[in-house]
Structure 1
Amino acid sequence: MKKLLLLAGDYVEDYEIMVPYQALSMLGYQVDAVCPGKKAGEYVLTAIHDFEGAQTYSEKPGHRFTLTADFATVREAEYAGLVIPGGRAPEYLRLDARVIALVRAFADRPIAAVCHGAQILAAARIIEGRTVSAYPACRPEIELAGGLYADIAVDDAVTDGLLVTAPAWPAHPRWLAQFIAALGAQVSI
């Protein structure tokens, strides 16, 4: 069974952690969801972000997402790829040197980042010269890190090598399909 690592933190976007976790598990991957400072069986709080006509997304309380592995014991060599959901978690996770080192270790493997997950990619300095999508408010960080911001529809995704990114959860079908392709798997419907 192939293993994937999913990076979580409190106030991760609800859909952006729940849907990839469930979809990738359904495809037969062991998805180890981890958070710095927390262990398997503990949880992170999620936030539900929605697009309701305001100048930015709205935020509502989400669910408790149960972690499936311990961040402190992760051995990156065991994983085929990395998933970085968005929400508010990336803004503080990117301050953790262990998170940055972990993300850099995946630079030569498939990485799927959505929404504010690009904040972690920028902090890890692995996007220079690469095309990256994210929630539009992350554009300055992508460009300051040397990335090329992909201004695409909210339900679209972009792949640059093994890096798959998207602006927000409405892109899940395309984002996950492109990530699965980057992992070398095929899904037929």
Structure 2
Amino acid sequence: MENAKKILFLTGDFAEDYETMVPFQMLLMVGYEVHAVCPNKKKGDMIKTAIHDFEGDQTYTEKPGHNFQLTYSFSDIKLADYEGLVIAGGRAPEYLRLNQEVLDLVRYFAENNKPLAAVCHGIQILTAARVVEGRRLTAYPAVAPEVELAGGTYVTVEATEAVVDGNFVTSPAWPGHPKFIRAFLDVLGTKIVLGQPAGTTAV
């Protein structure tokens, strides 16, 4: 993947399994080099993920997910190297948003109008970074009050949908991955050419 364009992917312990695995793999599939990172961890370290599902209770259930191997060291990030940022959801965002370096990197992408995608509870990091004021976005419904308190407009959509506002792409949960990633690729300017030999992707 020499000379491939790079995406920064932020995840952490007990991030949602699908919301870590699927976007990471989809972005690799279309030709990006994806640097999956977590504060205080380095390339090759593992994080534990969690599976969130809906089984008739008043909120989601949580079960152990897969272990996920990070592909880059957080301490080695050079923000100017990246085309965009993706933030996984799950339980990780509630503690990742306490890290000042995480908030600073989110502000970098927001202030430089670089593509920035977040799913489910990942939007908690956007609100903590105070980059949602005046923006339209969605999130897991329990995060809606945080969006409004931070000055954003929370948009209610089905879990299978995504919301785009300029360089921001958001989705309520993992069922939205197809539209979420497609919208992020559109914002990145990536064109997938159907009917051409496998691997024909302009990134």
Give the TM-score category using the shorter length. over 0.9
1:35 aligns with 2:38: yes
Aligned-residue RMSD, C-alpha: 0.7
Matches within 5 A, 1:1-189: 1-107=4-110, 108-189=113-194
AA in 2 matched with 1:176: I
**Please, which runs of 5 or more residues in structure 2 have no aligned partner?**
195-203
Give SS of 1:151's match.
coil
Report deviation, 1:187: 2.4
Separation in 1 of the partners of 2:193 and 2:91? 34
* Larger-Rg structure: 2
AA in 1 matched with 2:171: A
- Number of aligned pairs? 189
Q: TM-score if structure 2 supplies the norm length?
A: 0.92
Give SS of 2:121's match.
helix
Q: TM-score if structure 1 supplies the norm length?
A: 0.98
Give SS of 1:49's match.
strand
Report deviation, 1:51: 1.6
Report deviation, 1:188: 4.7
Report runs of 4+ in structure 1 exceeding 4 Å deviation. Answer: none
**Please, which runs of 5 or more residues in structure 1 have no aligned partner?**
none
Separation in 2 of the partners of 1:103 and 1:177? 21
Separation in 2 of the partners of 1:156 and 1:116? 15
Q: Percent identity?
A: 59
Report deviation, 1:35: 0.4
Give SS of 1:164's match.
strand
Look up the match of 2:200: none
Separation in 2 of the partners of 1:130 and 1:103? 15
